[in-house]
Amino acid sequence: MQRSSLWRSIDTMFDNWYETKSEQRKPLVLRGARQVGKTHSIRALAERRKVPLIEINFERKPNFKLAFADELSPSAILPHLEVLVRTEIPAGRCILFFDEIQACPAAIQSLRFFLEDLPELHVVAAGSLLEFVLDNTPFPVGRVNYAWMFPMTFREFLHAQGHIRLSKLLPEFPTNKGAVPASATVELAHCLREYFLVGGMPEAVVSFVQFRSFEKVFRIHEELSISYLDDIRKFSRGDAQLENTRQVLASVFGFVGKQVNYTLIGHGDEIKRTKRSLDLLCQAMLIHKIRPAAPPELPLGANAVDKHFKLLFLDIGLGQHLAGVNPSEIMNSSNLNKTFDGRLAEQFVGQELLAESLLGSEGKNLYYWAREAKSSTAEVDYLIARQGKVFPLEVKTGKSGSLKSLHRYLQEYGSEGVVLQDIHVVGQQSFISFWPLYTRL
């Protein structure tokens, strides 16, 4: 299997962007961590549309920057690029792809002029470390469209293995009230355990589909970890900061599902350095902060606070590898919600929310609910916005008697509670609905 043949749910959005009339289409800026499949998805787009892809990679060939040294208008840039790539760049009959655009800030600024002067040309830009340069580079706000890419979802993982029929049986909250057919639950449970180990990094998925070897997958995870640290070295100043960042990256998966602060993560190191490490890892999109929304109302980010927060890792497979989770514990588990103290299940749900439900999770942001009082404390794993309402979501075994925090939330704010459980049924109990762990949200 070639990586470019992987089906990604974001492909539909790419096709819609390509087909949009030129007067309404803006340059597309694709954002996401390194190795989540951005470049391969754009190559696949060109293949589907049967048009040439003019690929300008500013890291691989720094001399491409010369085309942006003087003027930033398309009329000045394109002749230089055509000489460098030795081919014509015809508007309306190709895709011009600026890859690793963070290495050429002038190219970022040029996007507004492609929109204004040559809207017929399909222009895509991507950058795995783009977040590091945005603060210091004038960005064409309002002149571009953004798209976010994350590791492959469980549904995409099923597609990669040829389980397309199985992927269509995944229940979807809140529209699909049907239970998963009993004939499919055993296979879904087995595939979910595989996904917990392999994760959604495309290279790891392709390797697993080809060789069915967890050992090969783990080697890929190790190589990815090293490459991410190499990236951080480019932006981390000083040996002490770099070492702190290494320690935070290695330990952060152990904090998934826990409400934390900088002091707790820093292991006694100075808070300022730990905060800088977390900021670097967030900018590289290796981790995501989940902030408490209090009170929980739309938009969820309006009253979010930063004193405490929870953490989500980029990918469940890569994260459990770094954390040293025993693979046999996952494959032999009778309840994935309890594996690794429940953190793997909560990581899985958060990862799915980011990748599959950008509107519901308010862009690339996730939120939870926490109530701190002298008399009692309560915490709900996630808050999701659907159909104009906020739903509290718990990742639990599904026994109503153990859902004290969820009941506390419902007493204070009403609404309907959602529980994801390691049971393959959809059910309702009072104001709480129960769904399988692999439900699409």
**174-197 mean pLDDT:** 88
Say which amino acid occupies 334: S
pLDDT digits (tens, 9 = 90+) for 50-78: 999 999 999 999 999 999 998 999 999 99
Query: Rounded to a whole number, what is the distance in angstroms from the first to the last CA of the chain?
Result: 29
Which of 60-64, 262-266, 306-310 has maximum average pLDDT? Answer: 60-64
DSSP category for residue 92 = T
**310-326 mean pLDDT:** 89
- At 362, is the pLDDT very low, low, confident or very high (cuts 50, 70, 90)? very low
In whole angstroms, give the CA distance from residue 269 to residue 245: 11
Strand-pairing partners, residue 277, are none
In whole angstroms, give the CA distance from residue 364 to residue 358: 6
Assess contact for 315 and 199: CB atoms under 8 A. yes
**Alpha helices, DSSP H, located in 285-431:** 316-323, 327-331, 343-356, 404-413
SS3 content of the chain, % helix, strand, coil (to 5): 45, 15, 35
> Has residue 259 got a pLDDT over 70?
yes
- At 375, is the pLDDT very low, low, confident or very high (cuts 50, 70, 90)? low
What per-residue confidence (pLDDT) applies to 246?
86
- At 131, is the pLDDT very low, low, confident or very high (cuts 50, 70, 90)? confident
What per-residue confidence (pLDDT) applies to 2?
58
Burial class (CB in 10 A: 0-12, 13-18, 19+), 19: exposed
**71-95 mean pLDDT:** 97
What per-residue confidence (pLDDT) applies to 295?
79
> Has residue 380 got a pLDDT over 90?
yes
Q: Helix, strand or coil for residue 375?
A: coil
Please report which helix (H) or strand (E) contains residue 373, including its range: none
φ/ψ of residue 53, rounded to 5: -110, 115
What per-residue confidence (pLDDT) applies to 291?
93
Assess contact for 3 and 206: CB atoms under 8 A. yes
Burial class (CB in 10 A: 0-12, 13-18, 19+), 209: middle
Burial class (CB in 10 A: 0-12, 13-18, 19+), 332: exposed
Which residue bears the tokens 């060939």? Answer: 61
What per-residue confidence (pLDDT) applies to 374?
67
- At 420, is the pLDDT very low, low, confident or very high (cuts 50, 70, 90)? very high
Q: Please, which residues have CB within 8 angstroms of residue 2's CB and are 6 or more apart in sequence?
A: 206
Q: Helix, strand or coil for residue 230?
A: helix
pLDDT digits (tens, 9 = 90+) for 24-40: 999 999 999 999 999 99
CA 265 to the chain's CA centroid: 22
Say which amino acid occupies 325: V
- At 363, is the pLDDT very low, low, confident or very high (cuts 50, 70, 90)? low
Say which amino acid occupies 333: S
In whole angstroms, give the CA distance from residue 393 to residue 434: 10
Which residue bears the tokens 């989500």? Answer: 312
What per-residue confidence (pLDDT) applies to 360?
38
Asked if the peptide bond before residue 90 counts as cis, ω within 30 degrees of 0, the response is: no
pLDDT digits (tens, 9 = 90+) for 397-413: 545 457 889 999 999 99
In whole angstroms, give the CA distance from residue 421 to residue 435: 6
- At 197, is the pLDDT very low, low, confident or very high (cuts 50, 70, 90)? very high
- At 269, is the pLDDT very low, low, confident or very high (cuts 50, 70, 90)? low
> Has residue 135 got a pLDDT over 70?
no
By residue count, the chain amounts to 441
pLDDT digits (tens, 9 = 90+) for 331-353: 777 777 777 667 889 999 999 99
What per-residue confidence (pLDDT) applies to 122?
98
Give which of 311, 309, 326, 340 is closest to 249, Cα–Cα.
Answer: 311
What per-residue confidence (pLDDT) applies to 335?
73
> Has residue 361 got a pLDDT over 50?
no
> Has residue 87 got a pLDDT over 60?
yes
Percent of the chain at pLDDT exceeding 70: 93
Output the average pLDDT for the chain. Answer: 88
In whole angstroms, give the CA distance from residue 422 to residue 438: 9
Give which of 43, 53, 40, 58 is closest to 108, Cα–Cα.
Answer: 58
What per-residue confidence (pLDDT) applies to 386?
84
Domains of the chain plus CATH, in order, are 3-148 (3.40.50.300), 154-436 (no CATH)
In whole angstroms, give the CA distance from residue 17 to residue 19: 5
> Has residue 431 got a pLDDT over 80?
yes
What own/partner pairs with CB < 8 Å and gap ≥ 24 does 154-157 have?
154/191, 154/192, 154/195, 154/200, 154/348, 154/352, 154/438, 155/9, 155/356, 155/440, 156/6, 156/7, 156/8, 156/9, 156/200, 157/191, 157/194, 157/195, 157/198, 157/200, 157/205
**Alpha helices, DSSP H, located in 20-153:** 38-49, 74-85, 105-117, 131-134
Torsion of CA 419, 424, 425, 429, to 10 degrees: -30
